[in-house]
Amino acid sequence: MSNQANVDFIVADARRIPLRQGSMNFIIALSLLEHIPRWSKVIEEVSRILDKGLIIIQLPNLYFIIEPHTKFPLLAYLPKSIRHRATQINNYDDLQFDCTLSNVTASIIKTKVLKLLGIYAYWHTGYKNAPTSLLRKILPPPSYFIIALKL
Protein backbone atom coordinates (compact mmCIF):
# COMPACT_ATOMS: atom_id res chain seq x y z
CA MET A 1 0.00 0.00 0.00
CA SER A 2 1.43 3.36 -1.05
CA ASN A 3 1.25 6.45 1.13
CA GLN A 4 1.72 8.74 -1.86
CA ALA A 5 -1.28 10.57 -3.25
CA ASN A 6 -1.81 10.78 -6.97
CA VAL A 7 -2.04 14.55 -7.32
CA ASP A 8 -1.64 16.83 -10.33
CA PHE A 9 -0.58 20.43 -9.84
CA ILE A 10 -1.44 23.24 -12.22
CA VAL A 11 0.26 26.61 -12.04
CA ALA A 12 -1.89 29.23 -13.75
CA ASP A 13 -3.37 32.68 -13.53
CA ALA A 14 -6.46 32.32 -11.32
CA ARG A 15 -8.33 34.63 -13.70
CA ARG A 16 -7.84 32.09 -16.52
CA ILE A 17 -7.73 28.58 -15.07
CA PRO A 18 -6.94 25.96 -17.73
CA LEU A 19 -9.68 23.54 -16.70
CA ARG A 20 -12.92 22.49 -18.39
CA GLN A 21 -16.19 24.10 -17.45
CA GLY A 22 -17.80 22.19 -14.57
CA SER A 23 -14.70 20.07 -13.92
CA MET A 24 -14.29 20.78 -10.18
CA ASN A 25 -16.57 20.12 -7.24
CA PHE A 26 -14.54 21.73 -4.44
CA ILE A 27 -12.36 24.85 -4.53
CA ILE A 28 -10.44 26.58 -1.75
CA ALA A 29 -8.90 30.04 -2.14
CA LEU A 30 -6.90 31.06 0.93
CA SER A 31 -5.37 34.56 1.11
CA LEU A 32 -5.46 34.81 -2.67
CA LEU A 33 -7.95 37.38 -3.91
CA GLU A 34 -6.42 40.41 -2.19
CA HIS A 35 -3.22 39.85 -4.24
CA ILE A 36 -4.87 39.68 -7.68
CA PRO A 37 -5.72 42.76 -9.73
CA ARG A 38 -9.25 42.40 -11.10
CA TRP A 39 -9.91 39.72 -8.46
CA SER A 40 -13.60 39.57 -9.49
CA LYS A 41 -12.43 37.67 -12.59
CA VAL A 42 -11.34 34.88 -10.22
CA ILE A 43 -14.91 34.64 -8.90
CA GLU A 44 -16.21 34.40 -12.48
CA GLU A 45 -13.63 31.74 -13.34
CA VAL A 46 -14.40 29.72 -10.24
CA SER A 47 -18.10 29.77 -11.07
CA ARG A 48 -17.21 28.52 -14.56
CA ILE A 49 -15.04 25.55 -13.52
CA LEU A 50 -17.14 24.57 -10.50
CA ASP A 51 -19.69 21.85 -11.24
CA LYS A 52 -22.07 21.19 -8.36
CA GLY A 53 -19.98 21.91 -5.36
CA LEU A 54 -18.48 24.17 -2.76
CA ILE A 55 -16.11 27.14 -2.78
CA ILE A 56 -14.37 28.41 0.34
CA ILE A 57 -12.70 31.81 0.12
CA GLN A 58 -10.61 33.26 2.93
CA LEU A 59 -9.97 37.01 3.09
CA PRO A 60 -7.95 39.06 5.54
CA ASN A 61 -9.35 42.34 6.81
CA LEU A 62 -7.18 44.92 5.00
CA TYR A 63 -9.12 47.69 6.77
CA PHE A 64 -8.22 46.57 10.29
CA ILE A 65 -6.40 49.14 12.46
CA ILE A 66 -3.14 47.28 11.73
CA GLU A 67 -3.06 45.95 8.15
CA PRO A 68 -2.31 42.19 8.46
CA HIS A 69 0.31 41.86 5.68
CA THR A 70 2.51 44.88 6.34
CA LYS A 71 1.60 45.50 10.03
CA PHE A 72 1.29 49.17 8.99
CA PRO A 73 -1.30 51.09 11.08
CA LEU A 74 -4.36 52.51 9.30
CA LEU A 75 -2.84 51.69 5.90
CA ALA A 76 -6.15 51.31 4.07
CA TYR A 77 -7.21 54.79 5.17
CA LEU A 78 -4.14 56.62 3.85
CA PRO A 79 -4.08 58.37 0.48
CA LYS A 80 -3.45 55.91 -2.34
CA SER A 81 0.05 57.26 -3.12
CA ILE A 82 1.25 56.86 0.48
CA ARG A 83 -0.45 53.46 0.79
CA HIS A 84 1.26 52.30 -2.42
CA ARG A 85 4.69 53.41 -1.16
CA ALA A 86 4.17 51.71 2.22
CA THR A 87 3.17 48.44 0.57
CA GLN A 88 6.15 48.60 -1.83
CA ILE A 89 8.56 48.99 1.08
CA ASN A 90 7.09 45.86 2.65
CA ASN A 91 7.04 43.91 -0.67
CA TYR A 92 3.24 43.80 -0.76
CA ASP A 93 2.67 46.26 -3.60
CA ASP A 94 0.03 43.97 -5.11
CA LEU A 95 -2.56 44.37 -2.33
CA GLN A 96 -6.03 45.13 -3.70
CA PHE A 97 -7.80 47.31 -1.15
CA ASP A 98 -11.09 46.95 -3.02
CA CYS A 99 -11.07 43.25 -2.10
CA THR A 100 -13.37 43.69 0.88
CA LEU A 101 -15.84 41.28 2.42
CA SER A 102 -18.79 43.21 1.01
CA ASN A 103 -17.30 43.49 -2.50
CA VAL A 104 -16.42 39.79 -2.68
CA THR A 105 -19.84 38.67 -1.45
CA ALA A 106 -21.48 41.04 -3.96
CA SER A 107 -19.34 39.51 -6.71
CA ILE A 108 -20.42 36.00 -5.66
CA ILE A 109 -24.10 36.99 -5.67
CA LYS A 110 -23.65 38.69 -9.05
CA THR A 111 -22.66 35.38 -10.67
CA LYS A 112 -26.25 34.17 -10.15
CA VAL A 113 -24.94 30.59 -10.10
CA LEU A 114 -23.21 30.63 -6.71
CA LYS A 115 -25.36 30.62 -3.59
CA LEU A 116 -23.85 32.30 -0.55
CA LEU A 117 -24.10 29.88 2.38
CA GLY A 118 -22.32 31.82 5.07
CA ILE A 119 -19.60 34.17 6.25
CA TYR A 120 -17.51 33.27 9.26
CA ALA A 121 -14.93 35.39 11.10
CA TYR A 122 -11.80 33.74 12.45
CA TRP A 123 -9.77 35.71 14.99
CA HIS A 124 -6.04 35.03 14.89
CA THR A 125 -3.99 34.47 18.02
CA GLY A 126 -1.90 37.63 17.92
CA TYR A 127 1.18 39.28 16.59
CA LYS A 128 3.62 37.11 18.55
CA ASN A 129 6.52 38.00 16.21
CA ALA A 130 5.67 41.71 16.09
CA PRO A 131 8.62 44.10 16.48
CA THR A 132 7.16 46.03 19.43
CA SER A 133 5.41 44.98 22.59
CA LEU A 134 2.53 47.35 21.77
CA LEU A 135 1.81 45.48 18.52
CA ARG A 136 1.99 42.15 20.36
CA LYS A 137 -0.81 43.33 22.65
CA ILE A 138 -3.15 44.54 19.90
CA LEU A 139 -5.93 42.17 19.05
CA PRO A 140 -5.13 40.77 15.62
CA PRO A 141 -7.46 41.24 12.67
CA PRO A 142 -10.03 38.66 11.74
CA SER A 143 -9.95 36.63 8.56
CA TYR A 144 -13.25 35.99 6.88
CA PHE A 145 -14.29 32.69 5.40
CA ILE A 146 -16.94 32.93 2.70
CA ILE A 147 -18.69 29.70 1.78
CA ALA A 148 -20.73 29.42 -1.39
CA LEU A 149 -22.38 26.54 -3.24
CA LYS A 150 -23.05 25.94 -6.89
CA LEU A 151 -26.15 23.81 -7.34
pLDDT of residue 38: 96
The CB density around residue 143, as the number of other CB atoms within 10 Å, is 17
For residues 33 and 41, what is the distance between their CA atoms, to the nearest angstrom? 10
pLDDT of residue 93: 78
| pTM for the full predicted model | 0.84
Q: Which pLDDT band holds residue 112 (cuts at 50, 70, 90)?
A: very high
For residues 88 and 62, what is the distance between their CA atoms, to the nearest angstrom? 15
- Yes or no: say if 74 and 51 are a contact pair by the CB < 8 Å rule: no
**Hey, which residues does 71 pair with through a beta bridge?**
none
Query: For residue 67, is pLDDT > 80?
Result: yes
For residues 55 and 76, what is the distance between their CA atoms, to the nearest angstrom? 27
